[in-house]
């Protein structure tokens, strides 16, 4: 059987084993997906663990997505520009890294019916998740703007990925797509909106990367203001899991099967 795994710390709440094991079963592939927790001291041992146990593929999560890069023989271009790897593939002991969070972002944007080329896209936030979104959109001829609480970080990211930094207080209702990469909304409806509600118009699509809760303060405000095209972090998580599974097995798993497994209570 194919052995796949996830490493990181903590792994208590990860839904990946459920999603992948359901996909193996549904696709009729003999395979398992297990948790291999590793702290910062243990991460350097992970390549040896992969080879010793002949693990076909491994997801890498917090806090190792950046620090795993130097441990790999090869890293895909998009993962390198995002500065993060979340998927390792083992080919006869040679380990390569990819970033399927980016594939998840791309698939979610496509599902919203947005063609990035020529589209005005605003990314809210300038951390790791914003970087993945910017890496996903760079080279697509999107008109990229980045806004952030701390303006300097938005400026640095915009410069790196060929976008423009935008001030939070002078945003206009001009975007085809708004992507929230900040944790604003994770604590529920008591959180304040990460951007002024006035920029949410029916012509705008809104993608909130937050997946817990499923209905965030931003998505709710967008729907209130007539936005019809909305997507949440759940969709992105499922799409990234599908992309990792496909890299390891050559089979694209069924979205409904992974979604159902994701929704099961831990």
- Give me the residues that bind ligand ATR (CB under 6 A), please: 125-130, 148-150, 153, 181-184, 194
Q: Which of 18, 65, 106, 242 is catalytic?
A: 65
CB of 54 to ligand ATR, least distance (A): 32
Residue with the CB atom nearest ligand ATR in the bound state: 127
Active site residue 120: no
CB of 192 to ligand ATR, least distance (A): 7
CB of 208 to ligand ATR, least distance (A): 12
Three-class secondary structure of residue 247 per DSSP: helix
CA atoms within 13 A on the CB side of 224: 10
Task: Name 146's bridge partners.
Answer: 123, 165
Q: Which residue's CB is nearer to ligand ATR, number 181 or number 240? A: 181
Beta-carbon contacts of 44 under 8 Å, excluding residues fewer than 6 positions away, are 71
CB of 66 to ligand ATR, least distance (A): 10
The dihedral region occupied by 153, where left means phi > 0, alpha psi between -120 and 50, and beta the remainder, is alpha
Burial label for 83, CB within 10 Å (0-12, 13-18, 19+), is middle
Q: Which residue's CB is nearer to ligand ATR, number 89 or number 144? A: 144
CA distance 263 to 231: 16
Which sequence positions are flagged as catalytic?
Answer: 65
């Amino acid at each position: 059987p194919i052995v796949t795994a996830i490493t990181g710390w903590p792994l208590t709440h990860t839904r990946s084993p459920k999603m992948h094991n359901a996909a193996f079963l549904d696709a009729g592939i003999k395979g398992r997906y297990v948790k291999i927790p590793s702290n910062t001291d243990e991460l350097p041992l992970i390549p040896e663990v992969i080879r010793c146990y002949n693990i076909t593929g491994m997801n890498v999560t917090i806090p190792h997505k950046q620090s795993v890069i130097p441990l790999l023989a090869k890293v895909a271009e998009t993962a390198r520009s995002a500065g993060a790897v979340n998927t390792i593939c083992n080919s006869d002991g040679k380990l390569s890294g990819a970033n399927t969070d980016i594939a998840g972002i791309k698939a979610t944007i496509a599902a919203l019916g947005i063609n990035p080329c020529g589209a005005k896209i605003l990314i809210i936030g300038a951390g790791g998740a914003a970087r993945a979104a910017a890496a996903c959109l760079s080279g697509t001829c999107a008109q990229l703007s980045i806004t952030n609480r701390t303006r300097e970080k938005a400026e640095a990211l915009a410069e790196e990925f060929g976008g423009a930094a935008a001030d939070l207080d002078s945003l206009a209702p001009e975007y085809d797509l708004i992507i929230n990469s900040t944790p604003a909304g994770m604590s529920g409806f008591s959180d304040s909106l990460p951007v002024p509600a006035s920029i949410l118009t029916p012509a705008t699509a809104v993608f909130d990367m937050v997946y817990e809760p499923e209905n965030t303060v931003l998505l709710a405000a967008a729907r209130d203001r007539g936005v019809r095209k909305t997507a949440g972090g759940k969709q992105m998580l499922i799409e990234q899991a599908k992309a990792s599974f496909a890299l390891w097995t050559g089979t694209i798993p069924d979205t409904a099967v992974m979604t159902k497994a994701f929704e099961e209570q831990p």
